[in-house]
Amino acid sequence: MYQFSHADIPTGSMADARNHERQLLTRSIDMLSAAALAGHGSTEAIEALHFTNSVWTTFVEDLGSSDNTLPKELRANLISIGLWLLREAEDISQGRTDNFEGLIEVSAIIRDGIQ
C-alpha cells in the first residue's frame, strides 16, 4: 500500500488525497462487512483486519506529523479514534471480541466526515 503524508501533496491535489482516504476507508468497511459475515478467524477477517490496521496505522502516523495541516485538536481527536480502532482490531484478531460493527460504524463516520 502506498503511504503518503499530507505535506507531500501539492495543494491543488488535496481533494485527490481526501478522495483517496475515502476510498481506503470504503474498502476497509467493505472488507470488514464481509469479515463480519464470514466470522472471526476466517480468511476474510484476517485480510480485513490487516488492511484496516495498515490504513489506520498510516493515518495515525500522518496525523501525528508536524507537517499535517489539520487543526491540532482535530488531529488529536482523530489519533484517539485511530488508536481505538487499532486496539479493537487487535482484540478481534485475538478473539477477545467480535465487534466488527463498531469498526464499521466508526470508520463510516470518519469516511463520511472527510471533505
Span 20-60, pLDDT tens digits: 999 999 999 999 999 999 998 999 999 999 999 999 999 99
pTM, full prediction: 0.86
Which of these, 72, 63, 49, 50, lies nearest to 21 by C-alpha position?
Answer: 63
CB 69 within 8 A of CB 6: yes
Residue type, 44: E
Span 62-107, pLDDT tens digits: 999 999 999 999 999 999 999 999 999 999 999 999 999 999 999 9
Question: What pLDDT does residue 12 have?
Answer: 53
1 CB neighbour count, 10 Å cutoff: 8
Contacts of 49 (CB under 8 A, 6+ apart): 32, 35, 89, 92, 93
C-alpha cell at 83: 488508536
Dihedral (Cα; 66, 82, 86, 53), 10-degree rounding: -70
